[in-house]
Amino acid sequence: MSPESPVTSPAEVRRDLVADCASCFGLCCVALPFAASADFAADKAAGQPCGNLGADFRCGIHARLRESGYSGCTVFDCFGAGQRVSQVTFGGRDWRSSPATAREMFAVFPVMRQLHELLWYVTEALALAPARPVHGELRRAFGDIERLTRGGADALGALDVPALRDEVNELLLRASELVRAKLPGPRRNHRGADLVGAALTGANLRGASLRGALLVAADLRKADLRTADLIGADLRDADLTGADLTGAVFLTQAQVNAARGDATTRLSPGLERPAHWRARRRPNRGARGGR
């Protein structure tokens, strides 16, 4: 799609919000910084290629990222911004063969990533029938954001993304409230709550607001998270074994990938069970001394 093309529909854009690493110049492996931690095995400055990035812009340890100490890479999603910047904004010129583009390309990538993330959330909201009262405003927001993605590097670099996010987030919040208002009974509000390591086994969080909540390493085994708003919630290493996340609002694949779960964890259609989730092991009751 050329920068001059007309605004496309949410259904058409949805296909472009899935990362296509084969069409990207390894931008997430270069443009973004990371620090040595439980998520990354080494430090890397912004603009510096990761040591695992090959000459073909492919990750040399992609099949064993977790085992190699790069679990942080497995939970990152550019929402298709990588191929957009590589193939559309910069017309297929890569930062290695055209080094003059590198600084600008690396600066544009995180901006495009945020725009694509907003498009993903807006298209999700447009698929929520109870949110129909705000669908008109959501469609207008979608059109505005989609036009911005077709801007040149200078225009993208000058965008006030935080202001745009605040504006769109108000619509997303209204959509979420309309969806959750259909549920019977009170709904918990844990927006922005610090629930790191919280013991929430079997908790009734149906329709709860967990927007931006810190749920790192939280015990959510068998918790009822149906129709809960999970936009921006940090689910790294949260235990979702046996939890029910059916209909969870604004839950992304990256959030699912960051958590732990098993075959008993319930997810909405469209979300895939991560490869590192294992089927729950049953105890060998016939073994001597076993418990």
pLDDT tens string 214-236:
999 999 999 999 999 999 999 99
Tell me, what's the pLDDT at 256? 97
Give the residues across from 224 on adjacent strands. 204, 244
Cβ atoms of 227 and 206 within 8 Å: the answer is yes
Rounded CA separation 232/33 (Å): 20
**One-letter amino acid for residue 72 of the chain:** G
Q: Tell me the pLDDT band of 16, cut-offs 50, 70 and 90.
A: confident
Rounded CA separation 248/229 (Å): 6
Tell me, what's the pLDDT at 233? 98
Tell me, what's the pLDDT at 50? 96
Helix 161-180 crosses helix 135-149 at what angle (to 10 degrees)?
Answer: 150
Contacts of 197 (CB under 8 A, 6+ apart): 216, 217, 218, 219
Rounded CA separation 212/116 (Å): 19
Residue-range domain boundaries for the chain = 10-180, 187-279
Tell me, what's the pLDDT at 183? 93
pLDDT tens string 45-101:
999 999 999 999 999 999 999 999 999 999 999 999 999 999 999 999 999 999 999
Residue 2 has pLDDT above 80, yes or no: no
Cβ atoms of 52 and 74 within 8 Å: the answer is no
Q: Please give the average per-residue pLDDT across 242-265, as a whole number.
A: 97
Residue 286 has pLDDT above 80, yes or no: no
Cβ atoms of 217 and 236 within 8 Å: the answer is yes
Helix 102-126 crosses helix 161-180 at what angle (to 10 degrees)?
Answer: 20
Phi and psi (nearest 5°) for 22? Answer: -70, -20
Q: Tell me the pLDDT band of 285, cut-offs 50, 70 and 90.
A: very low
Q: Please give the average per-residue pLDDT across 105-127, as a whole number.
A: 97
Tell me, what's the pLDDT at 251? 97
Q: Tell me the pLDDT band of 4, cut-offs 50, 70 and 90.
A: very low
* Integer CA distances (angstroms), 93 to 108, 164, 271, in order: 14, 29, 33
Q: Which of 6-20, 33-47, 105-119, 207-221 has the lowest mean pLDDT?
A: 6-20
Helices (H), the chain: 10-16, 71-74, 81-84, 102-126, 135-149, 153-157, 161-180, 253-258
Cβ burial of 226 (10 Å; 0-12, 13-18, 19+) is buried
Contacts of 270 (CB under 8 A, 6+ apart): none
> How is domain 187-279 classified at the architecture level of CATH?
3 Solenoid (2.160)
Among residues 222, 226, 206, the alpha carbon closest in space to that of 264 is found at: 222
Q: Tell me the pLDDT band of 7, cut-offs 50, 70 and 90.
A: low
Secondary structure tally for the chain: helices H, strands E: 8, 0
Rounded CA separation 75/62 (Å): 12
Question: Please, what is the average pLDDT of the chain?
Answer: 91
Q: Which of 9-18, 78-87, 158-167, 268-277 has the lowest mean pLDDT?
A: 9-18
Q: Please give the average per-residue pLDDT across 22-48, as a whole number.
A: 95
* Percent of the chain predicted with pLDDT > 70: 92
Tell me, what's the pLDDT at 6? 52
